[in-house]
Structure formats: C-alpha cells, structure tokens
C-alpha cells in the first residue's frame, strides 16, 4: 500500500468508493491526502449526491446552512459564503461543485456509472466491482458512500403506466425547469419533499390536489437572507462551534440545557414552546429533554403544534386532517417549511385524505380514488426513499463464501457501529444503519465516519495488516444495543422510514443509532484505541 501501491493499472486501486455525495467526496480527499489510491464511482453525472438528484422546487436544507457544511478545513469554510439561513438546493449543489474543484476531486471520479455488483475475492483479498457500463474495478478496500436517502421508493400504484400526462419524482427531478403554470397537478406524499414543494406548485398551477396518507409535523423555517457581515463573523467562530457540535446529540447547535416538560406549568410550557417556535427550524423538537422519552411530555409539544396548524388553516375540517395525531412528535422525521399550512387557504389547493378516500389506481387522465376521479395534467410522487439500506441492497454485495448482503439482512440491517459487517471483510459503510446518520447533521456524521475509516486503513498499513472484518459477536452486541436504546424511546411507536415501515415487506428494525453523535464518536474512538476492539485482523503473509 502507500506510494508504491498507489500506482494502478487495469482499474485496480487501494480503495474503491461508491457514491460522490458529500460522503464520497470527503472520503476521496482524505484517502488521497494519506497516500491511498482511490477511485469513486458515481451513478449521476456530477457530485453532490442528494443535492444532485433532489432538484424539485423548494428543496433546501433544514439544518442551517452555517451548520450544514464541511467542517474539516478552515480554508474551505472561509472560502464559501452562504446567502440564506436555509439554503436552497441550487446553492448547496454549487457548494458541492465548488468543493470538488477546490480539492481537485473530479479527475478521480467515474461519473454516469452505476455499481451493480461487488464481490469479495478471498484468494486475492480484494473487492471486484462490476458496473452497468461493463467495466470491472478492483480495490483492496471498498467504501460504500451510497447515501441513506438515495434510493427512491418505487410507486406501486395500479395503472401508473397508463397515465398520459407527465409524471415527476421529487427525488429524480429533471435538470431543466418545470413550470406548472396553467396546469393541474396531483401530489402524492406529504413528507419533507412534498411539504417543501407543494407551496411552490400552488403558486404556479391552476390547481394542486394533495393526496395525504399521514399528516406530518412541520415547523416554520423563517428562512431569510444571511447578512454578509454576520455570515463573515460566523467564520471566525465556525471551527470551535463545529468541534462542540461533534460532541452533542445531533451534531449542530450547542448543548443547551433543556428540562423535562413536567418542570413547567401549563403557561410556562406554552410560553417556552412559543419562544422556540418563533426562532424557526427544528428547535421545538428539543424544547423538552424528555421529548422522545415520555408520551406526556411529547404530547404537550405535539398539541402546541396541532394548535398552530388549527390557527393557520381556515377550514377546521382541513386543519384536523393536517394535524398529526397518530404518532408522537419527532418519531417520523419532522419537516421545516415555508408557507406549507397557509397553502390550504388557497382556492387552488385541495387536500384528499386517502384514509377516507383511498387511491385505487392511476388512470389515463389522473387518479381514481374509491369515491372520485381526479383529472390532472401532472402527477408528482413525493413518496420518499427505501432509506438506509435501499442503495446497499440494490448493489448485490457478495462477501465471504458468496454470502450476499441481501441474505445477511433478510431480517433487518445488522452492522458493527454502522461501519462494517461480519462476513464482508475490507468493506466499510459511511453513515450505515447502526450509526447516528439520519438522526444528526449528516455532514458531521459523514466526517466522523470518513476520518475513522481512513485512520483504520492507516493503522492497517502501518502494521502490515491485510484484512479487517467485524466480529460476529461484536456485531450482535451492537445491534442489540442500538435496539435497546431505541426501545427506551417513543420512536418505535411510529410507522416511519427509520423503522422501514414505508416499504412493504421491509423488516421492521429501527435503523439509526439514537444515542447521539458525541456518545457514538466516543465509542468509535474507544474501539480504535483498544486496538480495533470487535474487529478481526489478518496480517500480510
Ligand atoms: P448522498 O448524497 O445520497 O450520495 C450518495 C451517492 O451515491 C448518490 O450520488 C448516488 O447516485 C450514489 N450511488 C448510490 N448507489 C450507487 C451505485 N450503486 N453506483 C454508483 N453510485 C451510487 N441531511 C442533513 O443533515 N441536513 C439537511 O438539511 C438535509 N436535507 C436533505 C434534503 C433532502 C431533499 C434529502 C433527500 C436529504 C437531506 N438530508 C439532509 C440528508 C442527506 O442525504 C445528507 O445530508 C447528505 O447529503 C448525504 O450525503 P451522502 O454522500 O452520504 O449520500
Ligand atoms: O419522503 P417521506 P420525503 N400512497 O418518506 C407518502 C429527507 N428530506 O422524500 O407517511 C400514499 O418522508 C408517505 O406517507 P406515509 C428527510 O430526512 C429532507 O418527503 O408513509 N402515500 C409520506 O407522506 C426526510 O424525512 C428535506 O403514510 C404514500 C410521503 O409519501 C427524508 O428525506 C427535504 C405512499 C413520503 O415522505 C424523506 O423525505 C426532503 C403511497 N403508496 C427530504 N407511499 C429537508 O427539508 C408513500 N407515501 C431537509
């Protein structure tokens, strides 16, 4: 490995990285910095991952831009100036492109190439990676930076192919502008993607019909332009703030003291929630320290938001349909919106609760429900993702003895630390199931994983170690720990994508690690300090 092995021929590299979102980009940079040869293989024809694919109108981050950026380089953070509190997709994509140019990443990324199979070769102790372009790459190590929310959920409505109008998927939005002026639009799905895009569609279209299965808690963004002076001043504090953020629960903000709801009387609780609500963004979720531990506490905040919805939506029947009541606040991913609930006061927007009037099929002209037929020019599917495991399982990953990841995960994802799987030597996942990933500022989690993986590869190089594999017992213990923690919370009460409930037939296992990014990073560091406890090494013979 190192200088000598960095040279490659015939598509052979030290490390093959799959995916060129923020995870794959930073992985490539870090690997090259440490003298490893690496190739990134990416299905899209540009960097940015999530921000390359999700180009629907209204798409923006819901963790503030000043937090939702790389923190590994002071030079990078100083070189980019965000223009909005919650930046929109085009700006985040431009940022990803700018970083890729600054770090000269593009020359080592193979775009428009999808990995369709990966095989571990036990004799050669390496991975061979097959692509849809017919090429084969080999790497001693393989790092899956394939994203937690990168495999759109395929809609399974009868008759979809018969629809004569236009069909759009928020997660695969066209690169050219789509303008619904003078047209009618049906939107299926009211998760974050639907909630962000519906107000924009409503401002363009003659009519928008929203098909809702489960209402979502959504908090106001109060988005605004960032004043240049404040954004510049923030740069002086950023590195220290980021160090602090890596120690706290969700990887942004600081460890502000929250109290259990029971420590407030009714008026105090309402005024506290009002204060947090006024700030905008996700803050309401951490207004009480026991928000996801106690149904009673949770309901105080949930009822506060339901009342806000009732206050924003003129028609009380529609307001009740939009007010979530079937799961605790925060146990399905809440949204951050701009003008979502107000949209239902417009004459050109209707809400169909499909629990009352189920979708039966898609027809040539629109959507047929049990009681009606809706004729539309366009259907937008904002129906989400096969989250956390979808992209990995799609790839046909074959480990030791041809054992596939699909076989291993038949009853749900099993990993050690969300980083590695028993039976799959020299393979790593960035923000895999079993790590904080989607319950955190993902860029913080990505950086922590990338740095841990590259430190591990350096350790192996320095100690002549040839292969690394998670120990089956360590993996089982970690899976049990992740589940025990989740079971202490209200999360299992919701039919969420965190638990695989949005995909028919997917095993119901709570996938992310809920103990927080600080506790998790400590565990990873301890594992490394203890000689990679829970991993098996084999030495170069
Ligand atoms: P991705 O960005 O998903 O990149 C993975 C890449 O892998 C993709 O480009 C994909 O094409 C490629 N890939 C997958 N499979 C293959 C294959 N077989 N062959 C080749 N290439 C493959 N997180 C936050 O923390 N804050 C936010 O505000 C936030 N906003 C979001 C908004 C939207 C609309 C969505 C969908 C997600 C959001 N997220 C947010 C989560 C977001 O996914 C992460 O923050 C982050 O961008 C993930 O980066 P990644 O590199 O891990 O994965
Ligand atoms: O997907 P979702 P998303 N018939 O799964 C409905 C991140 N993100 O793309 O809830 C009818 O949340 C489904 O109904 P139900 C963020 O992490 C962030 O919106 O399953 N309806 C739901 O309403 C987010 O959580 C931002 O009952 C069907 C919707 O479709 C994650 O990505 C923006 C259906 C899907 O909602 C996913 O968000 C966007 C069916 N057959 C995304 N199938 C930010 O703001 C599904 N639905 C940062």
Nearest ligand 1 atom, CA 59: 34
Residues of the chain with pLDDT below 50 are 1-7
Give residue ranges with CB within 6 A of ligand 2.
Answer: 61-62, 149, 170, 188-194, 196, 213-214, 333, 335-336, 354, 382-385, 438, 497, 502
Minimal-distance CA residue to ligand 1 atom 12? 19
**Ligand 1: distance of its center to the CA of 373 in Å?**
36
Cβ contacts of 135 within 8 Å, gap of 6 or more:
11, 113
pTM of full prediction above 0.95: yes
Alpha helices (runs of H) in 331-464, residue ranges in sequence order: 390-394, 405-408, 442-462
Question: Residue 359 has which token pair?
Answer: 């979708």
Backbone angles phi, psi at 137, to 5 degrees: -115, 150
Q: Is 153-216+332-384 the same fold as 12-151+387-531?
A: yes
CATH number for region 12-151+387-531: 3.50.50.60
Note whether 415 and 423 are within 8 A (CB).
no
CA gap 473, 479 in Å, rounded: 10
Backbone angles phi, psi at 335, to 5 degrees: -115, 165
Instruction: For the chain, give every domain's residue range.
Output: 12-151+387-531, 153-216+332-384, 255-329
Specify the residue for token string 């350096």.
458
Which residue of 213, 250, 332, 380 sits with most ligand 2 atoms within 8 Å of its CB, as the best mutation to test the pocket?
Answer: 213
**Ligand 2: distance of its center to the CA of 27 in Å?**
28
DSSP-derived letter for residue 254 is -
CA gap 328, 299 in Å, rounded: 7
**Ligand 2: distance of its center to the CA of 180 in Å?**
22
Question: Residue 393 has which token pair?
Answer: 């399982």
**Ligand 2: distance of its center to the CA of 45 in Å?**
25
Second-level CATH architecture of 153-216+332-384: 3-Layer(bba) Sandwich (3.50)
3-state secondary structure 347-358: CCEEEEECCCCC
Ligand in closest contact with the CA of 336? 2
The string of pLDDT tens digits covering residues 240-276 is 999 999 988 777 665 557 899 999 999 999 999 999 9
The string of pLDDT tens digits covering residues 277-326 is 999 999 999 999 999 999 999 999 999 999 999 999 999 999 999 999 99
Q: How many residues can be counted in the chain?
A: 541
First to last CA, the chain: 14
pLDDT, residue 540, reads 64
pLDDT, residue 541, reads 56
Give residue ranges with CB within 6 A of ligand 1.
Answer: 18-24, 41-44, 49-50, 52, 54, 59, 61-63, 68, 114-115, 145-150, 193, 391, 395, 430-431, 441-442, 446
The string of pLDDT tens digits covering residues 392-414 is 999 999 999 999 999 999 999 99
What residue ranges in 179-318 does DSSP mark as E strands?
Answer: 184-188, 207-212, 218-220
Return the number of other C-beta atoms located less than 10 Å from residue 286's C-beta.
17
The string of pLDDT tens digits covering residues 80-128 is 999 999 999 999 999 999 999 999 999 999 999 999 999 999 999 999 9
pLDDT, residue 60, reads 97
Backbone angles phi, psi at 348, to 5 degrees: -95, 20
Minimal-distance CA residue to ligand 2 atom 1? 384
């Amino acid at each position: 490995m190192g200088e000598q092995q960095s040279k490659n021929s015939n598509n052979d590299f030290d490390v093959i990285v799959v995916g060129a979102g923020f995870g794959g980009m930073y992985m490539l940079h870090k690997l090259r910095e440490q003298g490893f040869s690496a190739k990134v293989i990416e299905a899209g024809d540009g960097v940015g991952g999530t921000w390359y694919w999700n180009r629907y109108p209204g798409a923006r981050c819901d963790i503030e831009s000043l937090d939702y950026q790389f923190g590994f380089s002071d030079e990078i953070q100083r070189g980019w100036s965000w223009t909005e509190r919650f930046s929109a997709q085009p700006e985040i994509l431009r940022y990803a492109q700018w970083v890729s140019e600054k770090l000269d990443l593009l020359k080592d990324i193979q775009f428009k190439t999808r990995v369709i199979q990966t095989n571990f070769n036990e004799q050669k102790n390496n991975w061979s990676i097959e692509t849809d372009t017919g090429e084969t790459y080999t790497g001693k190590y393989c790092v899956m930076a394939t994203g937690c929310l990168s495999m759109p959920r395929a809609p399974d409505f009868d008759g979809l192919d018969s629809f004569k109008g236009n069909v759009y998927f928020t997660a695969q939005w066209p690169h050219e502008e789509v303008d619904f002026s003078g047209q009618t639009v049906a939107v299926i799905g009211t998760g974050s993607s639907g909630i962000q895009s519906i107000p924009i569609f409503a401002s363009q279209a003659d009519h928008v019909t929203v098909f809702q299965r489960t209402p979502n808690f959504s908090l106001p963004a109060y988005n605004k332009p960032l004043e240049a002076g404040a954004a510049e001043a923030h740069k002086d504090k950023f590195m220290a703030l980021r160090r602090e953020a890596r120690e706290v629960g969700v990887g942004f903000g600081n460890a502000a003291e929250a109290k259990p709801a029971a420590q407030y009387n009714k008026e105090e609780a309402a005024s506290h929630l009002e204060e947090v609500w006024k700030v905008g963004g996700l803050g309401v979720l951490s207004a009480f320290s026991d928000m996801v531990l106690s149904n009673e506490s949770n309901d105080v905040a949930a009822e506060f938001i339901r009342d806000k919805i009732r206050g924003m939506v003129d028609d009380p029947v529609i307001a009740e349909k939009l007010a979530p009541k079937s799961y605790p606040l925060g146990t399905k991913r809440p949204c951050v919106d701009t003008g979502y609930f107000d949209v239902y006061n417009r004459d050109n927007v209707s809400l169909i609760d499909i629990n009352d009037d189920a979708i039966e099929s898609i027809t040539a002209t629109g959507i047929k429900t049990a009681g009606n037929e809706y004729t539309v020019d366009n259907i937008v599917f904002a129906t989400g993702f096969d989250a956390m495991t979808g992209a990995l399982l799609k790839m046909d990953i074959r480990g030791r003895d041809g054992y596939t990841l699909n076989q291993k995960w038949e009853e749900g994802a099993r990993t050690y630390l969300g980083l590695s799987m028993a039976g799959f030597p020299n393979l790593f996942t960035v923000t895999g199931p079993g790590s904080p990933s989607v319950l955190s500022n993902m860029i913080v989690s990505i950086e922590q994983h990338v740095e841990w993986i590259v430190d591990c590869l350096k350790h192996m190089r320095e100690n002549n170690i040839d292969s690394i594999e998670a120990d089956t017992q360590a993996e089982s213990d970690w899976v049990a720990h992740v589940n025990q923690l989740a079971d202490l919370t209200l999360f299992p009460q919701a039919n969420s994508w965190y638990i695989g409930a949005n995909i028919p037939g997917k095993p119901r296992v709570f996938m992310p690690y809920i103990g927080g990014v600080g506790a998790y990073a400590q565990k990873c560091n301890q594992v490394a300090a203890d000689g990679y406890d829970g991993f098996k090494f084999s030495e170069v013979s």
